[in-house]
Amino acid sequence: MKYMALIYRAQDSSPAYGTPEFGPFMAAYQAANERFAKDGVLVAGEALEASSTATTVRVRNGRTETLDGPFAESKEQLGGYYIFECDNLDDAIRYAAMIPTAAYGAVEVRPVQDLTRS
């Protein structure tokens, strides 16, 4: 089953680029990515640009409306994701706990619906 790990953090909570802490933080991501690939659970994963670059799209009464920024005002913003192929939720949670930002923010794990099943 596929599980999505949504990575949330407050904008300035993790080590900033150029700080001494940033190198080890990125090395931890590299190590996690290598582990996910080695274990065969990594389907996809990407970091996202800052929430200030988001555009929210809504269609109401046949009209498309766009808003600058994320849909919800929140201290923690979606910063990236992974999709894992795991046997069960416990395995997906174990891999999500390896995501370095879990130490600074939160990682939401959610099953991906399989709409191809009859």
Identify the CATH number of the domain in which residue 60 sits.
Answer: 3.30.70.1060
| pLDDT tier for residue 87 given thresholds of 50, 70 and 90 | very high
Question: 66 φ, ψ to 5°?
Answer: -125, 145
Q: Find the domain containing 66 and state its range.
A: 2-111
Q: Which amino acid is at 16?
A: A
Provide mean pLDDT across the span 13-22. 88
Convert the pLDDT of each residue in 36-74 to its tens digit. 999 999 999 999 988 888 888 889 999 999 988 766 666
* Total domains, the chain: 1
In a domain, 48, yes or no: yes
In a domain, 102, yes or no: yes
Provide mean pLDDT across the span 72-92. 89
With contact defined as beta carbons under 8 Å apart, do 79 and 105 qualify? yes
pLDDT on residue 17: 87
pLDDT on residue 56: 85
Provide mean pLDDT across the span 6-27. 89
Quote the pTM value. Answer: 0.85
In a domain, 116, yes or no: no
